[in-house]
């Protein structure tokens, strides 16, 4: 298994509070991704990173920000959580293009 | 606008028979395609992939077919086993240097014993 750890694995938070999810890898892979999974929508890309301090938006980036200050860590922040951000969040990593991406176990976030 | 589409949300197949999962895409810049399997409460796991320079790739019971002119790919599982019951996602990525993996909405496969 690829060395990807997501934390926390479960979180319940209140509307309007900031939340940070962490993805930590031990593979030294260059590319890291954050996805959310929702019924009927599959996996949608939120943000991704192609190197330290190099990030870009995905399909559903509104309300989210990311940071990557080290190769091994990619943080996803919900600046002011809303109920529509209740979802399961997955981190993925890959070393290069035209190869598979490896996923973490997911973080289930509930915004009440 | 969904660039990768899986129009069948669910599929039921008898054990031992063939399962065929379909996926369509709209972006002609996609040049690498993947299938992932996902069990409940787990992350997606890679199953098989295909480059746009090929039209078929086989790995054991799993075969992926790519029809570039139709912008269509399919995953064949033969023979299907109860352990194959899961949600299957197709994904595509362009060779643009940023390697964004775009996923479909998934198809839930149920293999009946």
Please provide the size of chain A in residues: 112
Average pLDDT over every residue of A84-112: 92
Choose the closest CB to B89 out of A43, A58, A96: A43
Q: Which residues of A touch B42 (CB under 8 A)?
A: 105-106
Q: How open is the CA angle B14-B18-B22, to the nearest 5 degrees?
A: 110
What is the tens place of the pLDDT at every residue in B70-86?
999 999 999 999 999 99
Best mutation site among A98, A107, A108 for testing chain B: the one with the most B CBs within 10 Å? A98
Which three-class secondary structure string do you get for chain A?
CCCEEEECCEEEECCCCCEEEEEEECCCCCEEEEEEEECCCEEEEEEEEEECCEEEECCCCCCEEEEEEECCEEEEEECCCCHHHCEEEEEEEECCCCCCCEECCCEEEEEC
What is the tens place of the pLDDT at every residue in A35-81?
999 988 999 999 999 999 999 999 999 999 999 999 999 999 999 99
Average pLDDT over every residue of B8-37: 95
């Amino acid at each position: 298994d690829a060395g990807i750890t997501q934390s926390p694995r479960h979180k319940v938070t209140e509307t309007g509070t900031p939340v940070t999810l962490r993805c930590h890898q031990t593979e030294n892979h260059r590319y890291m991704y954050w996805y959310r999974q929702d019924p009927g929508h599959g996996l949608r890309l939120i943000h991704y990173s192609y190197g330290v301090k190099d990030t870009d938006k995905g399909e559903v980036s509104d309300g989210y920000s990311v940071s990557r200050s080290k190769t091994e860590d990619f943080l996803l922040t919900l600046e002011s959580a809303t109920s529509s951000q209740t979802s399961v969040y997955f981190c993925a990593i890959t070393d290069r293009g035209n190869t598979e991406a490896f996923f973490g176990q997911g973080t289930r976030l509930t915004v009440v | 606008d969904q660039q990768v589409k899986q129009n069948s949300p669910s599929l039921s197949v008898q054990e031992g028979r063939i399962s065929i999962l379909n996926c369509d895409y709209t972006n002609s810049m996609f040049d690498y395609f993947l299938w992932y399997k996902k069990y409940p409460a787990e992350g997606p796991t890679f199953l098989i992939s295909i480059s746009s320079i090929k039209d078929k790739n086989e790995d054991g019971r799993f075969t992926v077919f790519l029809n570039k002119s139709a912008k269509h790919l399919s995953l064949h599982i033969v023979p299907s086993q109860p352990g194959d019951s899961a949600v299957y996602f197709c994904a595509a990525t362009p060779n643009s240097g940023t390697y964004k993996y775009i996923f479909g909405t998934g198809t839930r496969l149920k293999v009946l014993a």
